[in-house]
Amino acid sequence: MPPRTARVRAHAKINLSLKVLGRRPDGFHELRTVFHTIGLHDILEFRFTPGRGLRIGLDDPLRLPDNLVLRAAHAFAERFGVRGSLEMKLDKRIPAGGGLGGGSSDAAAVLLALPVLTGKPASLAELTEIAASLGSDVPFFLYGGAALGLGRGEELYPLPDLPTLPVLVLAPPLHVSTPEAYRALGRGALTLDENSSKLRSLQSFVWRPGNWRAAENDFEDAVFRLHPELERWQRKLERSGAHVARLSGSGAALFGVFPNQSKLQGALPRFRSEPLKVFSTHLVSRARYRAGWLRNLREHLAETALKESEWPPRTRPIKNVRNA
């Protein structure tokens, strides 16, 4: 059997709005967030050869400890009884630990690619279950585009797409630990009251996602207190004409969504002398996200999958191999 290979993009996300309601009995915090995928991405390459036994390898130049890519591959292989040799290569471009979901997106990319490459059909519900066991942000990347995230962020509701607006991402050389950022919020146990008052501004954002003034990020106060330069850069993004400038997730990356490309270009020189990695990118709609996936996996997809834009991508069966 010839190997099945693919090269895919694992996109980053930003949180257009992020509200933390309170601590739940399981220790996680109840969220109301609006995710959006952006053009900035990692690249993952796969090579799967069906056979006996199971071998999974990852070429990861950064040698990230406890890499979610490997955990995702093992979780999928165990659940679906994959047999063969899987080699993966990760080219990291999304800054790690920035609140841009890089590790989560890599894990979700494995979960979208493996059913197709190993000939093991999996439903969105099955993939979402594995994704949620790997991390709170992983399920979002099985959807892409704009989505409302409830619960830990794993309960997802697709939202109407926004136009492909330009986005500037600023990645400072800082690392904000997610558990520490949650602790710094000092949220008490979740109460119903909190739930309803905090929801009001989010509702107005979700109903009209372009209603930028309703966008907030509850981590900003706490994280800006620890790193005041972040607030200065946020103000600079706003003064440069961004519709909205926020911290992404629990940081430390910031983003600005601009009304047009010339405004973004005008903002770029203002950050040249700052100790920042600057990425000029754009929002990626759900339609573009999914079309990209179908394109990158097309040679292994079922005949009708491309025509019908099936989601998740449906595999062409692997012949002459006992899949059990």
For ligand C5P, the closer CB: 249 or 256: 249
For ligand C5P, the closer CB: 31 or 252: 31
Q: How many Å apart are CA 122 and CA 144, to the nearest integer?
A: 18
Count of residues interacting with ligand C5P (CB under 6 A): 11
- To ligand C5P, the closest distance from the beta carbon of 251 in angstroms equals 13
Q: Are 299 and 315 in contact (CB under 8 A)?
A: no
Check residue 28 for interaction with ligand C5P (CB under 6 A): yes
Query: Which of 11, 13, 19, 29 is in the footprint of ligand C5P by CB under 6 A?
Result: 29
- Active-site residues: which are they? 13, 137
- To ligand C5P, the closest distance from the beta carbon of 308 in angstroms equals 33
Backbone angles phi, psi at 251, to 5 degrees: 85, -175
Name the nearest CA neighbour of 205 among 14, 16, 5, 8: 16
Query: Which of 89, 152, 198, 227 is in the footprint of ligand C5P by CB under 6 A?
Result: 152
Q: Can you read off the two tokens belonging to residue 201?
A: 């501004």
User: What radius of gyration do the chain's Cα atoms show?
Assistant: 20
Cis peptide before 252 (omega within 30 of 0): yes
Which residue has tokens 């197709």? Answer: 116
Check residue 187 for interaction with ligand C5P (CB under 6 A): no
* Of 83-91, 178-186, 266-274, 301-309: span binding ligand C5P (CB under 6 A): 178-186
What is the CA 256 to chain-centroid distance, rounded? 17
Q: Can you read off the two tokens belonging to residue 195?
A: 């739930």
Query: Which of 133, 178, 211, 280 is in the footprint of ligand C5P by CB under 6 A?
Result: 178
Other C-beta atoms lying within 10 Å of the C-beta of residue 59: 11
Check residue 179 for interaction with ligand C5P (CB under 6 A): yes
The one-letter code for the residue type at 287 is A
- To ligand C5P, the closest distance from the beta carbon of 104 in angstroms equals 7
The one-letter code for the residue type at 239 is R
* Binders of ligand C5P in range 113-142 (CB under 6 A): 135-137
Which residues are at the interface with ligand C5P (CB under 6 A)? Answer: 28-29, 31, 135-137, 152-153, 178-179, 182
